[in-house]
Amino acid sequence: MLETRNLTKFFGDLAALKEVSLSITRGESVFLYGPNGAGKTTLLRMLASLARPSSGQVLFDGGDMGGDGALAKASIGFVSHTTFLYSELTVRENLKFFGSLFRLSDLEKKIDAALELFDMRERSGVFVRDLSRGLQQRTSLARAFLHDPDFVLLDEPFTGLDSQSVKNLQRLLLRLPEQGKALLFSTHDFEQGAALAQRLVALKAGRVRYNGPLATAPFEDLGIVRASGPKADG
């Protein structure tokens, strides 16, 4: 279980997160929603151990992630606004490098599988600097899934993807809970997110406004206007 207890994060005088307590267990799919500046990215970064809390705790399977967090890091895959990819390396070289940091066995096989998963096999020898934003995003997703993480944290994962890639990713994300994996993701497209999750965590101004089943969420109170948008292909 990945859990936060009274998590608060200040950037100077600005409180990006205020007393956020929530948990996500394996087999769950949670949609993190909120307007710009709500604290979604900060929360995801702290869960991925990229930022330290000003106060409060992030716990992984009951243990504080404040230490080296090696076990937690090995179980978390994170996709952010930035790709974490070296422009001067090819797609395969990037995956090989990051895979080696996770000490993965059968790395080449896992790289091939990740490339296949995101339809990047034919472009494995292309330098990242020569890829479009969408293809870089797919490579970044392949990097995050390479070590088969139990907890998948995705910050706006659909950014830059074409419609076919969006569908492929939706299909993949829908399967994660069945595989016993936890998914926590944010997207500004509410309907796109709602099609993938069972639970909604709504953030506003750094505070949790709602944390519960998506189907029974008080949409009006949360200022969410539902529209008939695209649904994920199951």
Partner 1 sequence: MASLKIIWNIFVKDLRVEWRNRETLASMCVFGLLIVFLFNFAFEGAREETLRLLPAVLWVAIAFAGVLGFNRSFASERENACLEGMTLAPVDPSLIFVGKMLANMLFLGVAEVVMAFAAALWYNFSFLPALGQLVLIAFFGTLGYAALGTIFGAIAANTRMREVMLTVLQFPIAFWILMLSIDSTAEALRGNPGGDWFGGVARVAGISLVFTIASFLLFEYVLEE
Q: SS3 of 82, please?
A: coil
The amino acid at residue 8 is: T
Query: What's the closest the beta carbon of residue 112 comes to partner 1, in angstroms?
Result: 19
- Please tell me whether residue 10 binds partner 1 under the rule CB under 8 A: no
* Residue from 8, 23, 49, 57 in contact with partner 1 (CB under 8 A): 49
Could you please report the per-residue DSSP string of 170-184?
Answer: HHHHHHTGGGT-EEE
Query: What's the closest the beta carbon of residue 49 comes to partner 1, in angstroms?
Result: 8
- Per-residue burial over 19-40, b = 16 or more CB atoms within 10 Å of its CB, e = otherwise: ebebebebebbbbbbbeeebbb
Burial classification of residue 69, based on how many CB atoms lie within 10 Å of its CB (0-12 exposed, 13-18 middle, 19 or more buried): middle
| String marking each residue 73-112 x if it binds partner 1 according to CB under 8 A | xx-x-x-x-xxxxxxxx---x---xx-xxxx---------
- In the window 110-129, what residues touch partner 1 (CB under 8 A)? 127-128
Query: What's the closest the beta carbon of residue 99 comes to partner 1, in angstroms?
Result: 9
List residues binding partner 1 (CB under 8 A). Answer: 48-52, 68-71, 73-74, 76, 78, 80, 82-89, 93, 97-98, 100-103, 127-128, 143
